[in-house]
Structure 1
């Protein structure tokens, strides 16, 4: 079977140029003013009326002739005859003549003869007269016709993005419909036999996964000023893919697909473009995102994004979003760049420009009052790579921005200065950054902290990263050897054991049941502190039996079947795929499963000694000191 190879990878600059050459629309449409928020004005709008259209009072008081108040003060007020009142929204039926005044409300039409308004606080009314205790000049407390906007004046120019302020002005001018730049209509087609739209029935045993890209890219299109149109999901069938793609091209200015862009025999989308349009570019020297397509389909522009969510969104933000903004008439967003230092050494295989997602953490003021650089404010921003692979959707939210790494860079050293392009100007580092053991009590604690970030990477890896100075704290469980200096921030104990089906149908009572009987077991990964606790229990059992832990482990069916998260073994038990799994009493009860207790283990929260003065660490200490384990069985302080 023939295989379509990637063509020569184009440099990123050429990809930008190719997308810029495509026509993404950008016409003009008229929309009701109520629907114009966020749109870009296509033509200048001039005032057709004066605003206000009449001389009006700017406060409650009395309309007077200013000359009648000359010399008036607290000791010698001017006394004027009260001839009536004028209210907002009503046509005046009085005339202010020499020696008279009219009561007037804020916003009311200034009656004939009056040229000023005295505020009510500087007056007294009695027996049909009003005493004025201040002198006025003509125009005091009066907004004259056209003072805001005069008929014929330029009100708002083309290219203005309409916000509530501009909507208010246009409303004052009586405008009910405005000409705006047409938003590019972007059709989104997600491909791949393995995808299921969110909300649909998912069959993991068939290798199905939820379609992340359709909604993610649609939202990104709208953020960039486009109008997103989702088309039915298509598999890898050539005819069906061609039909949906052509339908989208006929109805949209730009078609975006995700997936089916790599150089394999089953990926046929490049054939659809070549046979029904023009393929301009196939493959870009950038990581992630090498399998990128750019072309024309029917009369529409086309860009094929990679299938992995992180790659797809990164390529969209870098190459496609700027083109959509230009077509919509929107300026490039305010660039938000943070200068940081690499928290750890990062190796890199060169050859392609790398768009490396990173998270940010602030070191906070030094705990020992040590010296800082002259330009430093007492806190350093560290950048750490967030890269679980392009297929890991959590990288979308665990990263704060991108570091661009040149193709010829072999590595970035710890402490090296880097520029981080934030995903948006409002991105801010977390108040506290932690790593380590996955634990339900910890999740409850983090809910009490403002803007935390936590990566559940296991006790062993968490302690290693803490030793390298990356996170603010690490959570470890079990008898983990501490080879680094830490600060004890508190902790708790949790009951651990074997999670079994409801009713314990196999009558599992102890660890020897796993060794001696034909039971399917599910373990935790070696980075988990709970795995270490379990292994130590096997050591004790081996000593009692005159055996070794290795021999006992080999007797357990599934000992090496390891899963990462604390609920994962229990969920396999609940699904009928295992007889027992390593887990917690709290998890078993939450999932309505049985539980065989094996004891308790300590969970410790260890702080980075250089970060103990951070506000986030103080919030964490306070959360640990509070009673946060209510409803979690098997937990105690």
Structure 2
């Protein structure tokens, strides 16, 4: 049955491009305080309302001076200056880094180039005009574009906004992701503290999907477990069609009660069912109205791979979040990795220094193998595995 159902199996790249091509980014926006802005995406460019700094400031600890007063000063030809609170001919003023430089001064002399003698200093170096002074607008010029629309805000960006006196920003709304678990064998995670009876499984997928959705910049909506029934699945989707993205866990394979792909097709369009992904072959992708739907396998490891391959880029596109390349490191394999030709395989490995120890390439239901690993070695569909000693790219899971 599997070969019949999936005889038109899509490649991972084809499936991803087709799916992302159907997704439109959100236009909704929010006004948020800057301290809530980390990880949000600007919905408009920001112009600097003022200069930073807005005054001339000292770049060193030392003394504000007139450069002409110490022209030619050296260890063998020192110049004496009086220390006071104002700068004038023959008079200097003490400076701390970042302090306001008096208008009469045109340079700051480093403290290391002086010897303090009572209320005077012996100057042992000359400075040129502007030396060790940060000019007005040195960091940011008024009306300069600080960040462009679409910029993903980091903590250091928030600090820049704060320095400009900006307290609120306009950002794109977070995508709302509805998470619908399906299966007659599932038990609510919150309702059972005991070991489930044989044949029953805790719904851990919803929690996993929701946590990753949050990490990727979305807002998760957790839905009730839906039994393996066409009309109940249809009802659950209909009740969540107001979401920006729907993830359905389970019911995607080729069993008699795997109804999810056909229900999605009846309500909208099924783009893909069956992907050259290992684990994760039964993944289905669809669109209902303008809401993208990821139907991922119920086996946790397979579901997570499908979530990384399709959910992550889809959530980011929906939420206007820049597609950030995966973090990869080079490592040498301590064992052989087998893969299946025609499938993109996600092999789990443990990084140990500059080596990668293969943990598992099969076992779609064994989530602990991912928790124990540091990352994936993603094997292309046209490669039949890697030999021990090969240098590979390891994609870090976190």
The answer to whether the superposition gives a TM-score over 0.5 is yes
1:267 maps to: 258
2:294 maps to: 303
Of 415, 422, 430, 2:394 maps to 422
Q: Which consecutive unaligned segments of at least 5 residues does structure 1 have?
A: 85-93, 365-378, 427-637
How many angstroms apart in 2 are the aligned matches of 1:71 and 1:347?
A: 75
How many angstroms apart in 1 are the aligned matches of 2:331 and 2:249?
A: 33
Corresponding residue pairs, total: 389
Cα shift readout 1:270-329 (whole Å, capped 9, x = no counterpart): 354244333333333443223222222344111110110111111121223223333433
1:23 maps to: 23
Change over 3 Å in CA distance of 1:228–1:421 after alignment to 2: farther
Q: CA deviation at 1:217?
A: 1.9
Please say if 1:207 is aligned against 2:179: no
1:34 maps to: 35
**Are 2:180 and 2:224, in contact at CA under 8 Å, matched by a contact in 1?**
yes
1:132 maps to: 123
How many angstroms apart in 2 are the aligned matches of 1:319 and 1:419?
A: 27
Larger Rg: 1
Cα shift readout 1:125-174 (whole Å, capped 9, x = no counterpart): 53x55543432322222212112222233333344432233222222222
Q: Which moved more, 1:332-341 or 1:318-327?
A: 332-341
How many angstroms apart in 1 are the aligned matches of 2:41 and 2:21?
A: 22
1:314 maps to: 305
How many angstroms apart in 1 are the aligned matches of 2:356 and 2:127?
A: 63
Q: CA deviation at 1:35?
A: 1.7
Higher RCO (CA < 8 A, seq sep 6+): 2
* Superposed CA RMSD: 3.4
1:396 maps to: 370
Change over 3 Å in CA distance of 1:125–1:243 after alignment to 2: farther
How many angstroms apart in 1 are the aligned matches of 2:381 and 2:102?
A: 73
**Are 2:326 and 2:395, in contact at CA under 8 Å, matched by a contact in 1?**
no
Q: CA deviation at 1:420?
A: 4.8
Q: Which consecutive unaligned segments of at least 5 residues does structure 2 have?
A: none
Change over 3 Å in CA distance of 1:120–1:382 after alignment to 2: closer
Alignment of 1:381-460 (within 5 A): 384=358, 386-387=360-361, 389-399=363-373, 400-404=375-379, 406=381, 415=387, 420=392, 422-424=394-396
Q: CA deviation at 1:389?
A: 2.2
SS of structure 2 residue aligned to 1:324: helix
Please say if 1:218 is aligned against 2:189: no
Change over 3 Å in CA distance of 1:142–1:255 after alignment to 2: same
Change over 3 Å in CA distance of 1:77–1:290 after alignment to 2: closer
Change over 3 Å in CA distance of 1:229–1:418 after alignment to 2: farther
SS of structure 1 residue aligned to 2:323: coil
How many angstroms apart in 1 are the aligned matches of 2:336 and 2:63?
A: 73
2:67 maps to: 66
How many angstroms apart in 2 are the aligned matches of 1:347 and 1:130?
A: 75
**Are 2:350 and 2:372, in contact at CA under 8 Å, matched by a contact in 1?**
no
**Are 1:49 and 1:151, in contact at CA under 8 Å, matched by a contact in 2?**
yes
**Are 1:387 and 1:395, in contact at CA under 8 Å, matched by a contact in 2?**
no
**Are 1:310 and 1:390, in contact at CA under 8 Å, matched by a contact in 2?**
yes
Q: CA deviation at 1:256?
A: 0.4
How many angstroms apart in 1 are the aligned matches of 2:357 and 2:78?
A: 71
Change over 3 Å in CA distance of 1:418–1:256 after alignment to 2: farther
**Are 2:285 and 2:294, in contact at CA under 8 Å, matched by a contact in 1?**
yes
Change over 3 Å in CA distance of 1:353–1:58 after alignment to 2: closer
Change over 3 Å in CA distance of 1:139–1:123 after alignment to 2: farther
Cα shift readout 1:482-504 (whole Å, capped 9, x = no counterpart): xxxxxxxxxxxxxxxxxxxxxxx
Q: CA deviation at 1:216?
A: 1.7
Alignment of 1:247-262 (within 5 A): 247-250=239-242, 252-262=243-253
How many angstroms apart in 2 are the aligned matches of 1:169 and 1:11?
A: 46
2:328 maps to: 336
Q: Structure 1 length normalisation: TM-score?
A: 0.54
How many angstroms apart in 2 are the aligned matches of 1:56 and 1:101?
A: 15
Cα shift readout 1:388-441 (whole Å, capped 9, x = no counterpart): 62122222234431443637x8x658x478675533187xxxxxxxxxxxxxxx
How many angstroms apart in 2 are the aligned matches of 1:307 and 1:99?
A: 81
Change over 3 Å in CA distance of 1:285–1:82 after alignment to 2: closer
